[in-house]
Structure 1
């Protein structure tokens, strides 16, 4: 199929996310997950009143004063230096993705607000490129996990997104609000975690994006599972791996995925899927591709 042009999804805007609260909760939850023995400190057992490390213990590990760290954990990161953020990240045993998230929350870049407001557009050459990936499901996502363009094979595997509104072409809405996607993903819980982690990272980059805050608000109201996962404040990047699907037409699929950040627009990702050559999944993809081509020649819709 010929992917539709990118459109700015409709939907009500919401109030911006509270960056100070986000910074405070992120640091608090990262500190709570560390035990004293994890960092070589004595554990006084029953005398501890808080889960994880105390603020003074974390400040000692990072080499900053307790008052300084307390101000930061209260959401005041205005004058914090990159060196101090690095020391705190090391003390908290943060991953690269978590360190980047902490930096975005503490020292937001002013130009990000303008980026969040601009319409999402995909270059015509990229749309043509994914159409040429014969037998390879591929699509491009943008901000807020919006699906912007896709090829015929992606429609055959994940459903024909041309039949739904642009607002609903969003992985977060599909995964948490559409029962058919809960059935499609064998490891649905992991897919849900990955989606929330991506939205958390985006919230750090674009706390003033009203459409992002509206999406988070909508999902928080409609999905108890989303509320639970959102409260963890977990962030991570997952750029490759294996997705196991239970397709309604061809049964079980094991597809390896690769994600590529597009250099022309850092908010856009190209995601491709492929099966191990000679495997049952490869044969299933071939069948889906042939059915899709037959349907296109007949002028019919892609199989659901």
Structure 2
């Protein structure tokens, strides 16, 4: 699914009213939501014809100053402003993406995998720049059942194409919106990444919720938030998640899940990890009824 600068600018225009932009209310009936092209041009200090050419993708000679002025006129966030520059200059974005891939040849994944394992009871995943799951520690395996995911294991594919995904995440809508906004940002940063484009295309073809979220044009960098997972063994688990960058591996990130200390989730996670340790082949699987009775009802820890 192609991302164009015109599509992005249009969705950003539509979310801002003239009043929010500091313009006087229109005296005539507006045919489109948000700002008109000529109003954005006025706010950015360029001619309407120049701004129209920008939305048409004619960006060969656009300056940083103009892009910054448009970003300010549309009240873009820092991440959205970066995305605008990437769409306006895809060759520069691709050159920067290639530069970030060079160090990965010299630095192996093994030290990062050891770091995951050293995190102990905190579930953690190692992701690549396409949200493929490179590695998971034992706690993440117990919570998510990563080894049972179809290859290639990908966080976005699992979220949108797994038949039970909505049942697994009690706040699925929020997590889905964050994931799509992150994927849009990644496509701007890596415009010539054929595998990333294929992933977006696959999700767009197979998932109506993905298509609807993609059409919003939202762009965000996923750094921290809350996820609520409905686990078949211990019930609902609520984690604060954090995405950590790896300076030595710009194409890798660590996604960690932390329960609040002393919370029902912390207690339930401890019970789950203890149960899995006694049954190493049972990670990510539902407990048989007889076994659940022998261990006690762990789901009561989240009540």
Where on the TM-score scale, by shorter chain, does this alignment land: which range?
A: 0.7 to 0.9
Q: Contact 1:186 / 1:246 at 8 angstroms: preserved in 2?
A: yes
Q: Deviations over 1:90-123 (max 9, x none)?
A: 1000011101111111122242564699899852
Partner of 1:286: 270
Residue 275 (structure 1) aligns with? 259
Conserved 8 A contact 2:143-2:283: no
Structure 2 unaligned segments of length 5 or more: list them: 286-303
Partner residue of 2:15?
33
Match of 1:302?
283
Q: What's the offset of the Cα at 1:277?
A: 1.4
Matched residue, 1:182: 166
Equivalent residue number for residue 131 of structure 1:
117
Secondary structure of the residue aligned to 2:271 is helix
Which of 1 and 2 has higher RCO (CA within 8 Å, sep 6+)?
Answer: 1
Q: 1:238 Cα deviation (Å)?
A: 2.8
Corresponding residue for 1:106?
88
Tell me how far apart the structure 2 counterparts of residues 245 and 144 of structure 1 sit (CA, whole Å). Answer: 22
Residue pair 1:86, 1:99 contacting (<8 A) in 2 also:
yes
Select which of 134, 141, 147 maps to 1:162. 147
In the alignment, structure 1 residue 243 sits paired with structure 2 residue 227: yes
2-structure distance, mates of 1:70, 1:153? 52
SS of the residue 2:75 aligns to: coil
TM-score between both structures, scaled by the size of structure 1: 0.86
| 2:18 counterpart of 1:51 | no
Partner Cα distance (2:204, 2:144) in 1: 24
Q: Is residue 2:188 matched to residue 1:204?
A: yes
Distance change >3 Å, CA 45–CA 148, structure 1 → 2: farther
CA distance in 1, matches of 2:79, 2:98: 23
The two structures have a TM-score, normalised by structure 2, of 0.86
Does the CA-based 8 Å contact 1:117-1:209 persist in structure 2? no
Q: Deviations over 1:22-56 (max 9, x none)?
A: 11100111111111111121222543222211111
Structure 1 residue ranges without an equivalent (≥5):
1-16
Partner of 2:65: 83
Quick one: distance in 2 between partners of 1:283 and 1:301?
A: 19
Are the equivalent residues in 1 in contact too, given 2:101–2:250 (CA < 8 A)? no
CA deviation profile, 1:144-165 (whole Å, cap 9, x unmatched): 2111111010011111x22334
Q: Deviations over 1:169-194 (max 9, x none)?
A: 11111111112222111011111111
SS in 2 for 1:258: strand
